[in-house]
Amino acid sequence: MRVDRIEAFRVSLPLVHEFQTSSHRKSHLEHVLVKVTDAGGAAGWGEIASPSGPFYSPETVETCWLMLRGFLAPAVLGRDWDHPSQVPGLWAKVRGHEFTKAGLDMAAWTLWTGASGTPLAAALGGTRAKVTAGVSLGIEPTVDDLLAQVAAHDAAGYPRIKLKIQPGWDVEPVKAVRAAFPHLQVHVDANGVYTEAQAEVFTELDSTGLVMIEQPYAPRALAAHARLQKLLETPICLDESVVTVDDLDTALALDAGRVLNIKVSRMGGLTAAVAAHDRAREAGIPVWCGGMHEFGVGRAANVALSALPGFTLPSDVSGSDKYYAREVIAPPVVATQGRVTVPVTAGLGHDVDEEFVRAQAGATLDLRG
């Protein structure tokens, strides 16, 4: 196959419920939707789900836009490939910029699976007909507000809740949620905001029956994560620390984490995500698919990835309705009693609402090989 045209659309959508993490609060998100077209007119879509600011990773929507136009689209345009797993090889010299790469890699996968009549999940190696979804809840103004959020998602049937924590919002809200909802699987995500001097927070959380503690320390602090893991019964889950499969190897060698959050965006695409899944599976550590509040395109790709056999923990693939009132795909991703059905039709398994995408686009790119 050969991609002869790459279009990109900067689309902003309002969130149904404001989301606050340890780094910032957001009420709407701007993502870049990427459309690739081959010589025969077949199209594929991907999503660059970078946050606007460089607080989760160094990338921003603006840097993604520049890298797509300046380096990554030119690396792909007019080049021949047989299988989407070869596409990352086209930009092998470009270091970093995983979110940008992820959008193009995803577009290549949906192009190829759509054109070859294969469901995306099956092409990736997926074996599940349904995947289990958890929800990620932000920091709320009060514990009562948080309990109301947990109650709503418990009532919707989600079996796992992840709570964002930060210093001053950790042990108390976690204990309140565990006490009020003892049947739920609960885990916490610190987004790397604690330091080793605050390890006591985690030794205290260790006795609250959490499924895992996600990214307590800074992304590069793998040795510190290993020291913390020695103190805890609760598995540490790595997110920001693992950008490449080499990072995963280092984490495994150090015993710095016993669960892996695989994000398509953070790792540079579906090809890299599958490689991380395979490596984790070989090492015997469970994985789940994390999210970046993706619009429908990225969300559907996350569902397809979560169908792989190593994804044994609930993924952040909650229904589109938790986030957006109006979606960029039809039908939207739907979770029923915390389960999402994996599409069995060719490609992404959802139609992209191109008219809506074009109407919403604040800026567009149109590049040809």
- Binding-site size for ligand OSB (CB under 6 A) equals 12
Residues 6 or more apart whose Cβ sits within 8 Å of residue 184: 150, 154, 159, 160, 161, 177
Greatest C-alpha distance within the chain: 60
Least spacing, CB of residue 162 vs ligand OSB, in Å? 7
Partner from Mg ion, ligand OSB, none binding residue 315, C-beta < 5-8 Å depending on class: none
The count of residues in the chain is: 369
Cβ closest to ligand OSB, residue 105 vs residue 240: 240
In the complex with ligand OSB, which residue's Cβ is closer, 44 or 134? Answer: 134
Q: What does 327 bind: Mg ion, ligand OSB, none (CB cut-off 5 to 8 Å by kind)? A: none
190 Cβ contact partners less than 8 Å away, ≥ 6 residues apart: 22, 164, 165, 166, 170, 213, 214, 215, 216, 217
Task: Say whether residue 292 binds ligand OSB (CB under 6 A).
Answer: yes
- The span from the CA of 126 to the CA of 129, in Å, is 9
Which of 150/193 has CB closer to Mg ion? 193
**Whole-angstrom Cα distance, residue 88 to residue 75?**
10
Q: Which residue is nearest to Mg ion (CB)?
A: 239
Q: Which residues bind Mg ion (CB under 5 A)?
A: 189, 214, 239
Tell me how many degrees the CA angle 127-1-310 measures, rounded to the nearest 5: 20
Contact 175, 186 (CB under 8 A): no
Q: Which of 35, 101, 162, 164 is catalytic?
A: 164
CB of 369 to ligand OSB, least distance (A): 33
Q: Is 332 in the site for ligand OSB (CB under 6 A)?
A: no
CA distance 319 to 339: 9
Site string (49-88) toward ligand OSB, x via CB under 6 A: -------x--------------------------------
Q: Tell me how far apart the alpha carbons of residues 338 and 163 are, in angstroms, rounded to a whole number.
A: 17
Nearest residue to 45 (alpha-carbon basis) of 101, 98, 105, 88? 105
CB of 23 to ligand OSB, least distance (A): 8
Based on its alpha-carbon atoms, the radius of gyration of the chain, rounded to whole angstroms, reads: 20
Supply 330's token pair.
């039809």
Task: Compare residues 59 and 189 and give the one whose CB is closer to ligand OSB.
Answer: 189
Residue nearest ligand OSB, Cβ-based: 291
Look up residue 130 and give its amino acid. Answer: K
Site for ligand OSB in 126-155 (CB under 6 A): 136
Check if the beta carbon of residue 124 is closer than 8 Å to that of residue 304: yes
DSSP-assigned beta bridge partners for residue 33: 9, 47
293 binds ligand OSB (CB under 6 A): yes
Please select the residue that binds ligand OSB; options are 265, 306, 318, 320, rule is CB under 6 A: 318
> Is residue 263 among the annotated active site residues?
yes
Which of Mg ion, ligand OSB, none does residue 291 bind to, with CB < 5 to 8 Å depending on kind? ligand OSB
Any contact of residue 219 with ligand OSB (CB under 6 A)? no
The question of whether 130 is a catalytic residue gets the answer: no
Provide the minimum distance between the beta carbon of 64 and ligand OSB in the complex, in angstroms, as a whole number. 15
Q: Which residues pair with 336 in a beta bridge?
A: 339
Task: Report the residue from 140, 170, 239, 247 that binds ligand OSB according to the rule CB under 6 A.
Answer: 239
Element (DSSP H or E) covering residue 351: strand 351-352
Closer residue to ligand OSB in complex, CB, 7/189: 189
Interface residues toward ligand OSB, by CB under 6 A: 21, 56, 136, 189, 191, 239, 290-293, 316, 318
- Residues with active-site annotation: 164, 263
